[in-house]
Amino acid sequence: MDTVANNQSAAKADGKDTTLIYRQSRWTRLTHWIWAFSLFFMLLSGLQIFNARPQLYIGKQSGFEFNNTILQIGAENTANGPRGFTQIFGHRFDTTGVLGWSGPPGQETQRAFPSWATIPSYYDLGTARVVHFFFAWLLSATLLIWLVAGLINGHIRRDLAPRLSDLRKLPRDIVDHAKLKFHHTREYNTLQKMAYGGVLFVLLPLMIITGLAMSPSMNSVLPWLNEILGGRQTARTIHFTVMLLLVGFFVIHIVMILAAGPINELRSIITGWYRTDPPEKHDQPTERSV
């Protein structure tokens, strides 16, 4: 591909804005949206699957004789009628209307997660599993292809691997983000590299591994996987925790897009073109392939 320097030189010759660069390749944009849609359907179908047994445990076994529940969502009858509750590490909270007991007035039902947060909205475990596994395999295959391609073409080393100079800039990046002060450059900043790297190389692989560990059909193929993760129930708890971390990443990601300039950020991930700060505002402009 053309280098950023060549793009800018050509733009100057044509009298065009040199701050508009081609930042995201077609493959990067395609995988981004495949992962986004896959995670969306996996989340909502996963909450439907969780509703079938709205409890999380630590350990290889669960049941009445074990006291290893760390999360439970349910409903109970009280003097004021049915109430929803969420219990975390033995601490119980009233979550009526959202978790445990929800629905239109007069039509409330006992559900861990409400109907508007699940796919399908009605209770159908079979359909939820089909949707969940389809998008799980789609995400896994795309992630594997992206990883191999990223290693071959140098994208991971060039754009995502933090360098020593990046780590030196980390305190300043934290302060700038806290002040909502953003630098629009070709390069990802240190926090972006760490956040994207954490999602792509830690959270998504961990979600895939724990998902495989929960599948009975994988026991004969990878019998050691459950042992490494501490049992199927522990794998399920880790899977749920990773989901919460991914949701947290998504929320922060959207907030940063809105704060940094949504039009510019969305144009970058849709068309590939991104508007940077004027050259004089760049600390150390680099010239390399996109």
Q: Which residues of the chain have pLDDT under 50?
A: 1-15, 281-290
- Tell me, yes or no, whether 249 and 156 share the same domain: yes
Q: Are residues 69 and 46 in the same domain?
A: no
pLDDT for 116 equals: 95
pLDDT tens for each residue of 196-227? 999 999 999 999 999 999 887 887 788 888 88
Burial of residue 131 (number of CB atoms within 10 Å: 0-12, 13-18, 19+): buried
In this predicted structure, what is the pLDDT of residue 9?
A: 44
| C-alpha 111: how far from chain center | 25
Question: 104 with 139, same domain?
Answer: no
Q: How many domains does the chain have?
A: 2
* 91 neighbors 82 (Cβ within 8 angstroms): no
DSSP letter string, the chain:
--BHHHHHHHHHHTT--TTEEE-S-HHHHHHHHHHHHHHHHHHHHHHHHHHTS-EEESSS--STT---EEEEEEEEEETTEEEEEEEETTEEEE-TTTSEEESSTT--EEESS-GGGSSSSS--HHHHHHHHHHHHHHHHHHHHHHHHHHHHHSHIIIIISPPHHHHHHHHHHHHHHHTT-----SS--HHHHHHHHHIIIIIHHHHHHHHHHH-GGGTTT-HHHHHHHTSHHHHHHHHHHHHHHHHHHHHHHHHHHHHH-HHHHHHHHHHSEEEPPPGGG-SS----B-
**In one letter, which amino acid is 285?**
P
Q: Does 27 map to a domain?
A: yes
pLDDT score of 113: 97
**CA 48 – CA 21 distance, rounded (Å):** 43
The CATH number of the domain holding residue 142 is: 1.20.950.20
Tokens of 22: 């081609």
pLDDT for res 8: 45
Residues 95 and 134 in one domain: no
Provide the percentage of residues in the chain whose pLDDT is more than 70: 87
183 and 44 in a common domain: yes
Q: Are 155 and 149 in contact (CB under 8 A)?
A: yes
Q: Which one of 91, 112, 133 terminates a domain?
A: 112
Tell whether 229 and 167 lie within a shared domain. Answer: yes
- Structural domain range at position 103: 55-112
> Looking at the structure, do residues 108 and 168 belong to the same domain, yes or no?
no
Examine residue 289 and state whether it is found in any structural domain, yes or no.
Answer: no
Domain contains 288 = no
pTM: 0.84
pLDDT in tens, 92-141: 999 999 999 999 988 899 999 999 999 999 999 999 999 999 999 999 99
In this structure, the answer to whether residues 183 and 78 fall within a common structural domain is no
Q: Which of 89, 112, 135 is the last residue of a domain?
A: 112
| CA 119 remoteness from chain centre | 18
**What pLDDT does 271 receive?**
94
